[in-house]
Structure 1
């Protein structure tokens, strides 16, 4: 059963407001409030699994949604049990990301403005490759095949993620600015490349691979196969690789983040999961010394 998006949106915003509250409250209360927010956040995405598998046909997001509930439950448990600093830093990053993203999602005029700008730039890029695409509103048409540019196509979520990462770290302003510049503007440019690739591949039917299988799974027309492989597989994989590379660049500029990342990853090691579930405390990762 696919749960209504309205209900899931209410859950998402409720979880983010609770996370923000947890980030600003004194630690005595903040850890418990933030943990509740993370549990609701994980539940929201876990309930979205049928949507991404049956409707969006997005394999990567489906896997992420399947893992969302057990991961957030576990991390929330550790957060309350040990009041672990790395998890509060993660909470602050999520809070800042939410505050950055909220205006674009809540104020229709602002979201539409960003969609319009992205559509215009994408259209120019598609036609710069020798295509003859047209746009009506936020719908780009190439060779009779239409692609709608929505808010998710603007990379606002990924940009918000890195705004949160940069914003939650205490470091000199010059390094914070450098980290921002190698992440947020670069993500937007790469996203235009991504949109251009998807529209060009779909409009020119470059990736008609196993169309019968795609039709059977999605119920779409055979021409959809090129969109599926370009958007749901290759573009998603490319985005993941880009985020890894950008993350490495940000960590190189802000090595303070690596301490928290190491600590969070230590929590999901099998031996440490067993220790935490037995009620034992796992030693926190030691801060790294920045080279002068």
Structure 2
């Protein structure tokens, strides 16, 4: 079901990029469809024992409420954020729409991950064109494993700046794409070695399931905890580099953060006043 929501979000954000009085409605639709798609994936994330994405999915609800409120108040910060989301989707969606692009990217990532594994003397076989196999453990590489989502988001953030220059844009691409791509290859390699060599077998398996085979704790801790946290740190680091290259982005990030913090405070105050009114009654 998420595919339909993503397609609708892509359509809405694409329409948003077209000048006209419809922009606020297109932006609102884009965010609603995007968050709805995110929420529909929560059960899937839970079956995969992913901690980060379900948390982000639920946090997206207050984010959506504040975003919609400010869209219909013609807030320029939220329009800039919507432009960033639109650009990110324009970068990402061709890899979803075009099987040749998707499969080529996955195959390239798989080939380079296998090359690095073998170069490090962790000899790895392919059970299929996108399935790594070693020591009886297998890992399937899908589009989400290629780093394209993170690249699209970071490039969208950079392109969202209203006053970005060609030089700044090129520098952003040269920083974002190679760094995320190479670090993602390294992430795949480390997770696969941790999984196939059972690095974290001494840690508990919080899933309490054998659905993915014995020794799943190593994969869980390597992929769903340590590498997820490290990925967040890396993206924050890249964001700070982009702030140095495109100073307007730093101002935008500061003002946008303040906007959402103010929105949360306003909601809390409204909730408190409502509760007090109810208690008086």
8 Å CA contact 2:85, 2:153 repeated in 1:
yes
How many corresponding residue pairs? Answer: 268
CA-CA distance at 1:242 after TM superposition: 0.6
8 Å CA contact 1:94, 1:164 repeated in 2:
yes
Give 5+ residue unaligned stretches, structure 2.
271-281
User: In structure 1, what is the equivalent of residue 108 of structure 2?
Assistant: 117
User: In structure 2, what is the equivalent of residue 10 of structure 1?
Assistant: 4
Note if 1:103 corresponds to 2:123. Answer: no
CA-CA distance at 1:271 after TM superposition: 6.7
- Matches of 1:213 and 1:37, distance apart in 2: 35
User: In structure 1, what is the equivalent of residue 246 of structure 2?
Assistant: 254
Give the TM-score of the pair, scaled to structure 1: 0.86
Note if 1:142 corresponds to 2:152. Answer: no
CA-CA distance at 1:182 after TM superposition: 1.4
User: In structure 1, what is the equivalent of residue 216 of structure 2?
Assistant: 224
User: In structure 2, what is the equivalent of residue 238 of structure 1?
Assistant: 230
8 Å CA contact 1:23, 1:91 repeated in 2:
no
CA deviation vs aligned residue, 1:249-271 (integer Å, no higher than 9, x gap): 01110011122212211122257
- Matches of 1:276 and 1:237, distance apart in 2: 29
- Matches of 1:59 and 1:166, distance apart in 2: 28
8 Å CA contact 2:195, 2:216 repeated in 1:
yes
Secondary structure of the residue aligned to 1:98 is helix
- Matches of 2:263 and 2:61, distance apart in 1: 20
Over 3 Å counting, the alpha-carbon distance change for 1:36 and 1:213 in structure 2 is closer
CA-CA distance at 1:92 after TM superposition: 1.1
CA-CA distance at 1:154 after TM superposition: 0.6
State the 4+ residue runs in structure 1 displaced beyond 4 angstroms: 270-273, 275-278
Give the TM-score of the pair, scaled to structure 2: 0.89
Over 3 Å counting, the alpha-carbon distance change for 1:221 and 1:109 in structure 2 is same
Find 2:194's aligned residue among 198, 201, 222. 201
- Matches of 1:146 and 1:175, distance apart in 2: 41
Note if 1:24 corresponds to 2:15. Answer: no
Give 5+ residue unaligned stretches, structure 1.
1-6, 279-292
Matches within 5 A, 1:162-177: 162-169=154-161, 170-177=163-170
